[in-house]
């Protein structure tokens, strides 16, 4: 095999220590080593080959995923991998499958909502995977809308049973991953009815979960249970490796002790009790946890798309539109390409760092909750909800942009981008619809603003303390260079968010019915929330730069990324900055001009910055994003590897083309 | 079968005559009747069933498409359909297949570039489909970049042959539709070499096309030809029904008279001649034609996605986020939904009308070209290039938004949206990459601006005549109602485009090398082009409203759509309007407030406005977008129609799940 590196010249251009940057991206030398080890374990194991995946029909695809999950489980056992190692192993296998839900939702639900006794019973079985569980919350008619859940659990005191029932079609459990075919157990959310009385209509933490078997020994469903897969989803392989399921109950009886009883209980006599020593806010802690994990993962997803598009752009040549006299440029040397690609590269780093901060935030919140300190919970909840929304939306848009940046070839499945897009889109909807989440953030921001003076804003909202300054002091930028100062950038984003929030709060005050105001102004409220969340990302990036970052040129390269991210947003949202009067048109233009200068400073580092993600070719699974840049021969070969090219005469040719050519169609 | 109409209440709300609106959307009563007839012909013919399509593997999928194409051809013959009727028949069959290229590219290429003799020979064969052709222009290394084509056609005077050759891997023809498996013939673009001299290096109309057989009688490729499919593309079915192909030549000889010789000729003696009586600009006329067709089609694509999302939004209920006390609203009643959905609904209408205007423009240009009047060609070229770019980008983004607006269910293949998205994305790349096209538009606009005073701007650029007024007179809006006046809206868009163009032209003038200026400012130039193109769409919509439009309430409903489209853009791009000083922050806020009022005025008409598209359920192929709104039972049924639900125990269960549960994985 010929060893080539078509990107060697690009790599030589790097002005920083790539190995040191790998550590920054990974988070620590230990994490780099861990990820690298797991990524290569997967890449070198034949069971995890994935190139043929998009060509399989659903049943084969699913069987293939079960096979991979089994090999993964075997590796975990054989190598004695820790839970952390196993998580990364699954991550690099890069196929959504039932263990994601078993480990990510089912076990945490038991841990969080089960009584001590229940945990003792269920957790060892779950951790050994002697049972496999899923998390059945959403219903056909009710997605983000937990208050609307219709499934009922009626207590039958006589037999000491709950009767689980789906009273309507729309109460069918719909979408839970792992439910369709694999899970033996489910945690099911239902409305509790005791003595004819509903419990739990005022908030979703009042819903009750029940863990129980779905199947008989031969894996046929228990009597009264209808279970199945919701059907084919977007993309060739994509999320179709997951058995997102549907579930209906026809008066299914389960023993009382299968209600998860840590937060509330029903006694043998049918007495409903809330356990006062357990804060219900714990539930929000779980949401914070799940969403911070999404943010952490999504930065990697974006980095993957950006890596592919950057490498392709550094290989693909294109003439300028005027004449052949001008030499053939690399795509990456065109400003029109840079202005679309580099902000995405900067976003990947920005999301990584904000994800690290969220991880810290979650740890902090958890400790506080355990000490019965709920003071930071609303702020933490708003930050994670908003950042989940902001980063997943930007990532999905970014993958699509990367696909387009690779021209026609981005559209080939072999580029890796179509599958990456299709598997990522649902992140905008699951664990909270992104628009609904932003409206929650907006509520929090507006509330914080309206409480100024008698309640101290905390954490990410503490800029609201300086409301007066932010409303009245306009931007001081006079030159382009003035824009590349951390404090000034952060202040600009603070002023924009604060001014938009205040304007919206004033508009809301004009409505007699606050809820009507919220509804009518919801589009504006979403914009307020976006401004608030972008401020968080920018300020966490600037804070990161204030840390000690070792490695030649590493901090300098990160600074360029930080300002690219921030000034790209200033330009994109210049309407916000101008309409609030914070910026003058002149200052906005200076930001845009400075952005161009930053692109040219980023340019030589582009390939090294995507190399620093340390993605294996297996993980990328992209012909156009290969590390060695040897694109064209492999693109050509990939075409001929497609089974469709086994024959020149396609199936159906003699039946359906010949008669057309020979004018004998009448016989069809 | 139970007959229901879950949307009846919504339909009763309509404030206009839906049947009259259908005529407006279709273009004329005749076109409505034609489309309706073809749509129902397809919908009622069992051969064109398409629900199972996404579940087929590529070979089956392709065979299935060949079958449909054969039945379509048979219908055309049996019913004696006109070319126009046949075009709509293919449109409603809704599967990209080889006839699209045969009729849309191959035949027009022969018509446009063949000599009289060649046309006499090839056209009857083509029109009878005794030969099937494709259009092989793009190469592996060269997409939008026609100057870079590397395939050579060397004249061999001795044998009166051309020798077609692929000198490099990157010269492999790559992507032409219909080439991979079906076409018997190709029009191939190559660089002409006569007597060792290259012809055609200064522009793509200097390339030469050759029409010739690709296959032997048994459909195995001719000696020297390598042909195949480029491989799997994005989406489950989507564009994979098309055999986008690759093609390599190893010194393949073809007779001299297979060079298409209308524009240039090579004589028997090897003398190269340009035919002066045939304007080369005709080639641009062809591009104008193809792109105006894309705009016409893309408005229907967007209308399809919008129809699905609007109907779903008018059925789906969601609680507000605060409590159950508030009644359960329809999604469509939330402003957060309206502000995402209604601008797309308005865009569908806007794109339809600008498409109609483009059709007129093409006819006009063609007549002028035939009379050797090339004066309007640059303007027509810029308009079509820019509108192709603007409308396809907005449509693809719009489909994705519609998918998200349907929550999780939009992500199910049965919603119809994933396939619609995947099949539409390539429109951003084929027939000119959208960014490259916008840069061409920007060049035209900047040139027009810099020639003011000594060259009269024409057509869509004639606003540049009033440059002085547009630069110095700011917006006069004082109330929200002031924003809903056609002239004022158009003037705002003119002022924005003119001011941005002038600023960019001034910045360009600072560069010694104009090409370097174009490169460095390309991101800004794209924004100028977008502003110019949005002005065209808005002004054509306003012009449409100035026409006589019959039908109760029809014009009023269209007016609301027009202003929603325009004010949505004013808000989205308020940065442009503010940075150029045309609007004050107050005026921008008034526009946004007026937009909210327009949403509430649009609301009662929403369902009727999508009904007016007159889409059949077959064409929509969407469970959630059904005409009768009977979503949930059909969603449930669709899940069980998936072959994956044939069994509770999935393939692989005993092999890969059982050993995990029973802790016997060691044997794997």
pLDDT digits (tens, 9 = 90+) for A567-580: 999 999 999 999 99
- pLDDT on residue B208: 55
Closest residue, chain B, to A408 (C-alpha): B429
In three-state secondary structure terms, A212 is: strand
Residue B138 assigned ligand-binding role: yes
Quick check: A585 and B578 CB within 8 A? yes
Contacts of B383 (CB under 8 A, 6+ apart): B358, B361, B459, B460, B533, B536
- The ipTM is 0.95
Summarised one tens digit per residue, pLDDT across range A274-299 is 776 666 666 677 788 889 999 999 99
Spell out which residues of chain B touch residue A62, defining contact as CB-CB under 8 Å.
Answer: 644, 650-652
Are the Cβ atoms of B523 and A141 closer than 8 angstroms? Answer: no
Residue (of A49, A76, A183, A69) closest to B656 by Cα position: A69
pLDDT in the model for residue A632 = 96
Nearest Cα neighbor of A342 from A331, A328, A353, A329 is A331
Selected residues 322-341 of chain B with any CB under 8 Å from a CB in chain A? 322-324, 326, 328, 334-336, 338-340
Whether A81 contacts chain B with CB within 8 A: no
- CA atoms of A487 and A335, how far apart (whole Å): 28
Task: Give the Cα separation of B533 and B99 in Å (integer).
Answer: 31
Contact B237, B419 (CB under 8 A): yes
Q: By the CB < 8 Å criterion, does B567 face chain A?
A: no
For residue A327, give the nearest of B62, B148, B667, B274 by alpha carbon: B148
Instruction: Name the pLDDT band for A2 (thresholds 50, 70, 90).
Output: low
Note the pLDDT of residue B322.
45
The average confidence (pLDDT) of chain A is 92
- Nearest residue, CB atoms, B404 vs list A128, A429, A639: A429
**DSSP at A327:** P
For residue B71, give both structure tokens.
């039945």
- For residue A259, the Cα-to-chain-centroid distance in whole angstroms is 31
pLDDT bracket for residue A605 (50, 70, 90):
very high
Please report which confidence band the pLDDT of residue A129 belongs to, taking 50, 70 and 90 as the band edges: very high
Chain B positions touching A141 (Cβ under 8 A) are 316-317, 632
Residues of A (450-509) whose Cβ lies below 8 Å from B = none
Give the whole-angstrom CA distance, residue A81 versus residue A84.
8
Count of beta carbons in the 10 Å neighbourhood of residue B217: 6
Q: How far is A205 from chain B (nearest CA, A)?
A: 13
Six-digit token string for B67: 């079958």
Q: What mean pLDDT is predicted for residues A460-480?
A: 96
DSSP three-state, residue B385: helix
A232/B236 Cβ within 8 A: yes
CA pair distance B554, B560, nearest whole angstrom: 10
Q: How many CB pairs under 8 A join A and B?
A: 432
B80 touches chain A (CB under 8 A): no
| A431 given a catalytic annotation | yes
Query: Which chain A positions have a beta carbon within 8 Å of B143's beta carbon?
Result: 407-408
User: Which two tokens mark B267?
Assistant: 């004589």
Mark which residues 407-426 of B lie under 8 Å from A by CB: 407-408, 411-414, 418, 421-422, 425-426
B334: chain A residues, CB-CB within 8 Å: 519, 522
pLDDT over 90 at A4, yes or no: no
Name the residue among A68, A134, A85 with its Cα closest to residue A107. Answer: A134
pLDDT bucket at A211, cuts 50 / 70 / 90: low
Name the binding residues of A for FAD.
138, 177
Place of tokens 């929000």: A284
Partner-chain residue, chosen from B443, B575, B639, that has the shortest CB–CB distance to A246? B639
How sure is the predictor about A205, in pLDDT bands with cuts at 50, 70 and 90?
A: very low
Tell me the pTM. Answer: 0.96
A48-51 contacts at long range (C-beta below 8 A, 24 or more positions apart): A48/A92, A48/A93, A48/A618, A50/A94, A50/A95, A50/A237, A50/A618, A50/A621, A51/A414, A51/A621, A51/A641
Among the options B85, B431, B491, B494, which is catalytic? B431
Q: What is the pLDDT of residue B320?
A: 55
Nearest CA of chain A to the CA of B172: how many Å?
A: 9
User: Would an 8 Å CB–CB cutoff place B46 in contact with chain A?
Assistant: no
Cβ–Cβ < 8 Å for B301, B399: yes
Residue A453, pLDDT > 80, answer yes
| A269 has a chain B CB within 8 A of its CB | no
Considering only CB atoms, A650 lies closest to which of B63, B130, B141, namely: B63
Q: What is the pLDDT at residue B522? A: 94
Name the residue in chain A with its Cα closest to that of B393. A404
- Nearest chain A residue to B662 by CA: give it: A130
Helix (H) / strand (E) containing A16: none
Q: Which residues of chain B have pLDDT under 50?
A: 1, 201-207, 321-326
**Exposed / middle / buried, residue B213 (Cβ in 10 Å: 0-12, 13-18, 19+):** middle
Question: Is A97 part of the contact surface with chain B (CB cutoff 8 Å)?
Answer: no
Which residues neighbour A61 within 8 Å (Cβ) at sequence distance 6 or greater? A53, A237, A240, A241
Contact residues, chain A, for B233 at CB < 8 Å: 411-413, 418
Please report, rounded to a whole number, the percentage of residues in chain A having pLDDT higher than 70: 94
> For position A317, what pLDDT does the model report?
86
Phi-psi category of residue B96: left, alpha or beta, with phi > 0 → left and psi -120 to 50 → alpha: beta
3-state secondary structure of B625: coil
Q: Which of residues 163-192 of A touch B (CB under 8 A)?
A: 169-170, 172, 174-175, 180-182, 184
């Amino acid at each position: 095999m010929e060893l080539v590196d078509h990107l060697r010249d690009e790599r030589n251009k790097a002005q920083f220590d790539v190995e040191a940057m790998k550590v920054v991206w990974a988070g620590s030398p230990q994490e780099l080593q861990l990820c690298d080890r797991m990524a290569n374990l997967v890449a070198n194991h034949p069971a995890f080959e994935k190139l043929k995946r998009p060509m399989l029909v659903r049943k084969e695809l699913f069987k293939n995923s079960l096979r991979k999950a089994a090999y993964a489980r075997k590796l975990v056992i054989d190598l004695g991998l820790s839970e952390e190692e196993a998580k990364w192993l699954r991550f690099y296998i890069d196929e959504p499958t039932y263990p994601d839900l078993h480990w990510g939702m089912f076990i945490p639900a038991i841990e969080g909502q089960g009584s001590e006794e229940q945990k003792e019973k269920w957790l060892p079985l779950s951790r050994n995977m002697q049972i496999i569980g899923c998390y059945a919350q959403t219903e056909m008619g009710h997605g983000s809308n937990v208050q609307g859940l219709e499934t009922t659990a009626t207590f039958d005191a006589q037999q000491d049973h709950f009767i689980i029932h789906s009273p309507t079609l729309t109460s069918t459990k719909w979408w839970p991953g792992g439910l369709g075919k694999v899970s033996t157990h489910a945690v099911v959310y239902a409305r509790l009815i005791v003595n004819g009385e509903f419990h739990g209509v005022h908030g979703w933490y009042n819903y009750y979960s029940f863990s129980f078997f779905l199947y008989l020994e031969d894996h046929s469903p228990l009597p009264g249970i209808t279970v199945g897969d919701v059907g084919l989803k977007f993309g060739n392989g994509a999320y179709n490796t997951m058995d997102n399921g549907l579930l209906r109950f026809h008066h299914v009886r389960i023993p009382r002790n299968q209600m998860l009883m840590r937060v509330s209980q029903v006694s043998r006599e049918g007495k409903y009790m809330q356990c006062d020593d357990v804060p219900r806010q714990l539930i929000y802690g779980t949401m914070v946890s799940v969403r911070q994990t999404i943010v952490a993962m999504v930065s990697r997803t974006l980095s993957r798309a950006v890596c592919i598009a950057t490498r392709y752009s550094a290989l693909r040549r294109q003439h300028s539109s005027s004449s052949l006299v001008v030499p053939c440029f690399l795509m990456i040397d065109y400003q029109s390409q840079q202005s679309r690609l580099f902000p995405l590269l900067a976003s990947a780093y920005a999301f990584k760092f904000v994800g690290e901060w969220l991880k810290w935030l979650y740890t902090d919140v958890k400790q506080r909750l355990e000490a019965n300190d709920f003071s930071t919970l609303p702020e933490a909840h708003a930050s994670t909800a908003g950042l989940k929304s902001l980063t997943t939306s930007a990532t999905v848009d970014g993958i699509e942009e990367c696909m387009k940046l690779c021209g026609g070839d981005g559209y080939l499945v072999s580029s890796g981008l179509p599958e990456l897009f299709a598997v990522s889109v649902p992140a905008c909807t699951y664990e909270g619809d992104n628009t609904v989440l932003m409206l929650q953030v907006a509520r929090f921001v507006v509330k914080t603003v309206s409480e100024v003076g008698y309640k101290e804003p905390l954490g990410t909202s503490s800029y609201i303390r300086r409301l007066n300054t932010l409303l009245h002091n306009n931007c001081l930028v006079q030159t382009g260079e003035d824009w590349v100062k951390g404090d000034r950038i952060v202040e600009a984003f603070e002023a924009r968010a604060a001014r938009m929030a205040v304007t919206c709060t004033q508009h809301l005050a004009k409505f007699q019915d606050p809820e009507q105001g919220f509804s009518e102004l919801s589009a504006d409220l979403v914009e307020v929330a976006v401004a608030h969340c972008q401020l968080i990302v920018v300020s966490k990036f600037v804070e990161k730069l204030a840390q000690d970052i070792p490695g030649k040129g590493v901090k300098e390269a990160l600074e360029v990324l930080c300002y690219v991210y921030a000034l790209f947003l200033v330009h994109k949202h210049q309407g916000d900055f101008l309409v609030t009067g914070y910026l003058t048109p002149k200052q906005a233009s200076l930001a845009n001009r400075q952005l161009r200068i930053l692109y040219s400073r980023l340019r030589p580092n582009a390939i090294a910055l995507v190399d620093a993600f340390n993605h294996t070719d297996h993980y990328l699974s992209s012909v156009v994003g290969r590390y060695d840049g040897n694109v064209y021969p492999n693109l050509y070969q990939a075409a001929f590897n497609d089974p469709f090219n086994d024959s020149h005469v396609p199936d159906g040719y003699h039946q359906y083309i010949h008669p057309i050519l020979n004018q004998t169609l009448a016989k069809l």
